[in-house]
Each structure stands twice: as C-alpha cells, then as structure tokens.
A and B are shown apart, each in its own frame.
Chain A
Amino acid sequence: DGGITQSPKYLFRKEGQNVTLSCEQNLNHDAMYWYRQDPGQGLRLIYYSQIVNDFQKGDIAEGYSVSREKKESFPLTVTSAQKNPTAFYLCASSAPGQRETQYFGPGTRLLVL
C-alpha cells in the first residue's frame, strides 16, 4: 500500500529536550511538508522541501529544524527553542505538477511533560 507514515503516534517532551518526529512516504512524491494544527486554527506550514537536500522555511519555522537526505524521508525536530510545542503535527507530500493536492499522514500528537 502506498502512503505516508508518521511515528510515533504520541510523543512526550520534557522541558529543554529536543525531539524528532518521523515522516516516511512511498508514493514517489518529490515534495514534502510539515504542518502544525492547533484547535481553532488552520494548518500552519512549518517547513517544506521540493527536492532532496533542499528545504525552505514556512510561516512558523522558529524552534523547528528539518533534513531531507532521502526522497522518502523528511524528519522534523522540535527543539528546546520552541516554547509552545504542544500540537498535532502533520506531514504531507505531493507529486510534481500537483503541488496543490497534498496527501497527509496520520499525524503525531506532541505533548509537554
């Protein structure tokens, strides 16, 4: 089955700790995205990557970092600089020429201890 997987489903972060969220896709999509979803707010773009070894900041990149070493993988690190990390994090991907139609993974819920 083709799709996007995210792990873990739930993640707990202690103060001052960096945590990494995993996102893998086997759709052969070149573009991948990270969004943050908070209650009452639309999806907000954190980072996106159109090709391997290249990525750009979205609207709310502060306190986050990413890497894109492989086409299939786009991990997101929530650093200790992100003071309000509690949210639902969604990874998405899209095919060339179809940037508007993004396909989402199941999400990771990050909670702060």
Chain B
Amino acid sequence: QKEVEQDPGPLSVPEGAIVSLNCTYSNSAFQYFMWYRQYSRKGPELLMYTYSSGNKEDGRFTAQVDKSSKYISLFIRDSQPSDSATYLCAMSAGGGYQKVTFGTGTKLQVIP
C-alpha cells in the first residue's frame, strides 16, 4: 500500500463547476499538507499549504484536512479552462528535514 493514494483521473468537468480533488494517506505522523498544480511539461507550482487539520481558503481554492480520517481535499469553485492541469497532493511529518511524500496526481480537464 502506498503512503499517499490519489485517483489519477482524468476528471472532466464543465466550466463553472465545483471540483473536488482528494487524497488519502496512511502515515498518521503527517502534519503538513500541500497541493501543487502542474501544467503539462512544466514544474509543479505550490497552490495551498495547510498545517494539521482544518480548512484554508485562497480565492477560488479551499484546502481541507481531516486527520481523523486521513483524508485531504482541494475544492476549486467556479472552475475555469485555465485550471486544466494535474494536481498533486503532498505531505510531510515536519520536524527538521522530513521527506515530502507526493501523490501521483489527478489530471483535471475543465471544458468550456
């Protein structure tokens, strides 16, 4: 079993839809949770960073962490064609150098 599981998709939604992207994990030591957006043939770009449980909102993006269920989500409101990309979840236990473990990514396509 992988430490971090992420559905690879692809996920196709119409423009304006609310998108929900999810990851599950098995390591209860993870405390830091990140979401990256990666356009085709480009490097990942940090979108959201959350410590421990709870919600964090930034514009159209909301990151949600449920440590009791070992489940994290990224919601995108009013999705745009420019949101079409692969979304990677990442997580770390923190504390000095701790390895960051990445999900395999979910490919999202927003159709105009």
Contact = CB atoms under 8 A, between A and B. Distances in A.
Interface residues of B, number: 27
Interface string B33-53: 010100001111110010000
B92 A99 contact: yes
B46 A103 contact: yes
Nearest to A33: B100
B92 A104 contact: no
A101 B34 contact: yes
Contacts of A101: 34, 46, 49
B97 A99 contact: yes
Contacts, number: 55
A90 B44 CA distance: 9
B32 A43 contact: no
B10 interface: no
B44 A40 contact: no
Interface stretch (A60-68, A69-77, A105-113): A105-113
Contacts of B98: 99-100
Given A42-B101, A43-B88, A50-B97, A104 B43 contact: yes
23 contacts: A6-B43, A31-B97, A41-B104, A42-B88, A42-B102, A42-B103, A43-B88, A45-B99, A50-B97, A58-B99, A88-B41, A99-B96, A99-B98, A100-B32, A100-B34, A100-B49, A100-B98, A100-B100, A102-B46, A102-B100, A106-B42, A107-B43, A109-B41
Interface of B: 2, 4, 8, 32, 34, 36, 41-46, 49, 88, 90, 92, 94, 96-105
